[in-house]
Amino acid sequence: MSAQQNNSAIVMSLNKVIKPIETLNGGRNFSDIDFLKETLKDKELIALGEVTHGTAEVFNYKDRLIRFLVTNMGYKAIAFESDFIAIEHLDNYITGKADSVQYAAGTALMTSNHLMIEWLRTYNRNKPDADKVHIYGLEVRNYTNLFKKLLVVIPDLDKADKNLLDGYLAKPFNSNVTREEIKGFKSMLLKLQTVQLSDINRQYVEMFNQLVSYEGKRPLRDHYMAKNAMWLKDRVKHNKLIIWAHNGHLAKTELYKHPTAGTYLNKKYGSKYYVIGTDFNSGKAYVNVFIAKNKPLLGFQPLYFAEAKSEKWYEYFFNQCQYKNFILDINAASTDHLLNQFLTEPLTMRLIGALSSPEGKSLSISKNFDLIVYFDKTTSI
């Protein structure tokens, strides 16, 4: 079979298994994705990935999936790739403890989820406390939010430790810490780790430890995100948790020469961990524009990404399918020998972070994701 014939056969096989995306609206009618009830019935940790942090269609569809999982699958907990303390303010809003919404530092992307936040507040309005949906952050992103929290929940801090925290908070927001401050933080941690604390206060101390230990060591970020997700899952209703983060954090294999959060979660939960990745072919996304190494970034702005025109990219094949926007169940598709080979052998897939470059990553879709939500054309948030 020639390469062209093989490519056509792949597209024909894809057309047999993909399901069209009929709407991006949250809505109340989920008949088009009702099949997910069976697919997800035994799952406990559902990860909703995003191909970029700035694609409108992806955010809208993930909002729709959240509403489906909450109303049809009994999920009551959602954890975001955001600051744990800052998300507490948003949780107070959706659960009715606060009258106004507050997007504190560490929740930059949450403003793009405004409609979902309002929907969750409405959903919770007449629910008893035990049945309300709660949202959480998966990491601690700055000392400022955390130190303010520690000063409130651990009022009997040593005077020296209190002064240390107050001294940092007196500086401009999220200032760099000095070596002397790090030394003081580590000494403070040793003391806090030996005192009797409530479960949640112990978690604040653990996140303090994570922040001090991180110090720019990128592999630790995914390790801590996974650790915090496990801590949350053990405590939320029915032990069922939704995670909202970038595809790269949720993928199951070591994409960047170190375990992703998804690597740890997949190892612990196995088939109970289900990853829905998102993808697009061409269009705009809101990203920090990278020009070249050692050149200044141009700042966040809508940037156009041209369509994939090489058979080395998954999107090249997806673009030729009968539906422009579709859902691909990887597990079901893999029962077809040709598709199993296509989805297993590494090709390049769009995987754009906060920066505009690199645009893609060589990976095996079937080894990293369970379902793909694909959009042919996109717009920026």
Q: Are residues 185 and 264 in the same domain?
A: no
- Give a yes or no: residue 327 inside a domain: yes
pTM to 2 decimal places: 0.94
Please report, for the domain that includes residue 294, its CATH number.
3.40.1660.10
Q: Are residues 278 and 176 in the same domain?
A: no
- Give a yes or no: residue 306 inside a domain: yes
Q: Are residues 342 and 274 in the same domain?
A: yes
- Give a yes or no: residue 100 inside a domain: no
Q: Are residues 247 and 373 in the same domain?
A: yes
Q: Are residues 178 and 261 in the same domain?
A: no
Backbone angles phi and psi of 350, in degrees to 5: -55, 130
Q: Are residues 245 and 360 in the same domain?
A: yes
| Residue where one domain finishes, among candidates 184, 216, 248 | 216
Q: Are residues 173 and 70 in the same domain?
A: no
Q: Are residues 253 and 171 in the same domain?
A: no
Per the structure, the complete domain to which residue 149 belongs is given by: 143-216
Q: Are residues 256 and 359 in the same domain?
A: yes
Q: Are residues 148 and 249 in the same domain?
A: no
Q: Token pair of 120, please? A: 């969750």
- Give a yes or no: residue 16 inside a domain: yes
- Give a yes or no: residue 160 inside a domain: yes
pLDDT 10s per residue in the chain (381 long)? Answer: 566 668 999 999 999 999 999 998 887 789 999 999 999 999 999 999 999 999 999 999 999 999 999 999 999 999 999 999 999 999 999 999 999 888 887 777 677 788 899 999 999 999 999 999 999 999 998 999 999 999 999 988 999 999 999 999 999 887 888 889 999 999 999 999 888 999 999 999 999 999 999 876 778 999 999 999 999 999 999 999 999 999 999 999 999 889 999 999 999 999 999 999 999 999 999 998 998 888 888 999 999 999 999 999 999 999 999 999 999 999 999 999 999 999 999 999 999 988 999 999 999 999 999 999 999 999 998
DSSP β-ladder status, 360-363 and 347-350: antiparallel
Q: Are residues 264 and 374 in the same domain?
A: yes
Backbone angles phi and psi of 276, in degrees to 5: -100, 105
- Give a yes or no: residue 137 inside a domain: no
- Give a yes or no: residue 235 inside a domain: no
Q: Are residues 190 and 273 in the same domain?
A: no
- Give a yes or no: residue 8 inside a domain: yes
| Residue where one domain finishes, among candidates 168, 184, 216 | 216
* Total domains in the fold of the chain: 2
| Residue where one domain finishes, among candidates 216, 248, 268 | 216
